[in-house]
Amino acid sequence: MDVGGRLRGVTDEHTTLLLGGRIYTPAGPDATAMAVTGGTVVWVGQDAPARALHPGAEEIDLHGAFVAPAFVDAHVHATATGLHLTGLDLTGVRSGADLLARVREAVTPGQVLLAHGWDETTWADPRLPSRAELDAAAGGAPVYLSRIDVHSALVSTALAEPARGADGWSPDGPLTRAAHHVVRAAVRAAITPEQRERAQRAFLAEAARQGIVSVHECAGPDISGRDDLAALLALAGAGTPEVVGYWGELDAVETARELGVRGLAGDLFVDGALGSHTAALSEPYADHPGQGTRYLDAHRIAGHLAACTEAGLQAGFHVIGDAAVAEVVEGFRLAEKEVGQRALAARHHRLEHLEMVTAEQARQLAGWGVVASVQPLFDALWGGPEGMYAERLGVDRAAGLNPFSALAAEGVLLAFGSDAPVTPLDPWAAVRAAAYHRTPGAGLSPRAAFTAHTRAGHRAAGVNDGVTGSLVPGAPAHYAIWDATDLVVATPDSRVQRWSTDPRAGVPPLPRLEPGAELPRCLRTVRAGEVLHDAIT
């Protein structure tokens, strides 16, 4: 069967019928067929009426497969993820000795070795290799090994020296803050255009394999560079997921116009990350001296919000620690005085991560129309009483992180993303992580979590037509076909684990998501009627 056949020479009047499956739609679990004409959903309902209404249409037998709106990943770093997918993966490393052994095996004399994903909080012995040990393992080759949160890195002497004296410099340990930015820029400059294109293509292909039709690239001068973003935007198009670009820089309205990005948002850093002890806290870390790093104050935040509001752009910030969140809230309050609440709220400015936020702050942010781009897999990886959050903050403070239910209850739009390569492109795992939050009561119902990773992602990027991201007549045909035949129906009042198989519930079916259940495998990804990924044989 070949949905893509109509994309190779047939007219827009050609209609494809998907039959014999389950369609995730507001029509409920009885909807088993969908018709697509010219890249638009034109009908959803039962098989027999579908055939009668669309005689002569190409019929695709789904053999019981599950069809759902395709995913949107609201926070990615394409080139870094592509390099990670095609290079040395350090996420499985469990000791400093193991890390050094991986470097010895992977290094090529005379070439820069880039690798990502080590996390010492998962090691039995958290001692990091010294720079001398890393130099010896690399045989003198330049080596850059980013921590899983990408806010610090172990680097060899050949790369570390240009950052000497910068804030965050260490003569032997990981580089953080400004020193890390210096080294990352040097590494970025060493990547050839050919390497970059291979990495970006690998990323886009993997996104499509995961049922993702749109990604929000969070670029910026400290992240990837203008050339990198321009190349990605030029590469994306027919046959790939959509790329919505964001550029994280102050005073850069003209740059935004030149690049054609949606906004000056994404990773515009107010602070750093908890794992690297650089998230800005109101109280000291439990396992480290100091309270992290704050890069922007409320007045600069307010100025950026006002400038973007007046320019018709989305503003946005990377914000994690509670001290940083408080600074952002104050920045919004100051910006409201300058441009007014209605104008500020109309732009739906973004906050990335927003991990340490109170219910009162969420209420204020909702009043300003803020979108929260959040990452449920952070909680899956680092939450719980024995996770990295508890190690960094203590159990009590850690339990308040990533309060998705509180944000949603106050009216903040939640859009899910991966922050790839920090966590993998795995949207069903993210939906499960939000539904089975490690802090009881902080998660979402499965339906709400699924919506946050589909329809809400389009809304976060300014598409608010009421249909995009759903499978209803008139909606763009953005969908994925999954091999999940074991479906259950989430009741409207479900919070975490309450499911119903009663068809009278009248709500769309979802795959089983409980821990240990096998997650769906993507058989086909379609964007506006065009097949991006096809694993159907």
CA–CA separation, 526 vs 212, rounded Å?
A: 9
Residue 496 placed within a domain: no
Number of domains in the chain: 3
Q: Beta-carbon neighbour count of residue 462 at 10 Å?
A: 13
Q: Is a pLDDT exceeding 60 seen at residue 513?
A: yes
What domain range includes position 448?
A: 265-460
Q: Residues 434, 413: one domain?
A: yes
Q: Residues 426, 478: one domain?
A: no
CATH code of the domain covering residue 11:
2.30.40.10
Calculate the average pLDDT of the chain: 91
Residue 218 placed within a domain: no
| Single residue among 140, 172, 190 that ends a domain in this structure | 190
pLDDT tens-digit profile of 294-314? 999 999 999 999 999 999 999
Residue 219 placed within a domain: no
CA–CA separation, 38 vs 172, rounded Å?
A: 59
Mean pLDDT value of segment 59-70: 92
Q: Residues 406, 352: one domain?
A: yes
Q: Residues 310, 394: one domain?
A: yes
CATH code of the domain covering residue 391:
3.20.20.140
Q: Is a pLDDT exceeding 50 seen at residue 494?
A: no
> How many CA within 13 A on the CB side of residue 339?
22
Residue 224 placed within a domain: no
Strand residue runs (E) in 109-211 = 113-118, 143-147, 152-155, 175-176
CATH code of the domain covering residue 138:
3.10.310.70
pLDDT reported for residue 485: 57
pLDDT reported for residue 333: 98
Q: Beta-carbon neighbour count of residue 100 at 10 Å?
A: 17
Q: Residues 451, 476: one domain?
A: no
Strand residue runs (E) in 340-473 = 350-353, 371-374, 413-416
pLDDT reported for residue 1: 33
Residue 453: alpha-carbon gap to chain centroid: 9
Q: 455: Cβ–Cβ under 8 A, 6 or more apart, which residues? A: 69, 468, 469, 470
Tokens found for residue 514: 């409980």
Tokens found for residue 208: 């499509």
Q: Is a pLDDT exceeding 50 seen at residue 369?
A: yes
| Single residue among 175, 190, 205 that ends a domain in this structure | 190
| Single residue among 137, 155, 190 that ends a domain in this structure | 190
Q: Residues 370, 442: one domain?
A: yes
| CA-to-CA separations, 106 to 79, 111, 227, 228, in angstroms, rounded | 20, 11, 28, 25
Q: Is a pLDDT exceeding 60 seen at residue 489?
A: no
pLDDT reported for residue 10: 31
pLDDT band at 188; cut points 50, 70, 90? confident
pLDDT band at 507; cut points 50, 70, 90? low
pLDDT reported for residue 190: 83
Residue 197 placed within a domain: no
Residue 252 placed within a domain: no
- 246 membership: H or E segment, kind and range: strand 242-247
pLDDT band at 347; cut points 50, 70, 90? very high
Residue with token string 């992580």: 433
Q: Residues 119, 29: one domain?
A: no
Q: Residues 56, 95: one domain?
A: no
Of all residues in the chain, the percent with pLDDT exceeding 70 is 92
Q: Beta-carbon neighbour count of residue 420 at 10 Å?
A: 26
CA–CA separation, 513 vs 464, rounded Å?
A: 28
Apex CA 24: angle with CA 217 and CA 208, to 5°? 30
pLDDT band at 499; cut points 50, 70, 90? very low
Q: Is a pLDDT exceeding 70 seen at residue 103?
A: yes
CA–CA separation, 500 vs 505, rounded Å?
A: 7
Residue 225 placed within a domain: no
Q: Is a pLDDT exceeding 70 seen at residue 227?
A: yes
Residue 19 placed within a domain: yes
pLDDT band at 137; cut points 50, 70, 90? very high
Q: Residues 83, 32: one domain?
A: no
Phi–psi pair at 122, nearest 5 degrees = -100, 0
Q: Is a pLDDT exceeding 80 seen at residue 26?
A: no
Q: Residues 175, 272: one domain?
A: no
pLDDT band at 161; cut points 50, 70, 90? confident
Mean pLDDT value of segment 217-226: 93
Q: Residues 66, 100: one domain?
A: no
Q: Residues 111, 16: one domain?
A: no
pLDDT reported for residue 509: 73
pLDDT reported for residue 110: 76
pLDDT reported for residue 8: 29
Q: Which of 113-117, 280-284, 421-425, 448-452 has the lowest mean pLDDT?
A: 113-117
Contact 43, 473 (CB under 8 A): yes
Amino acid (one-letter) located at 196: R
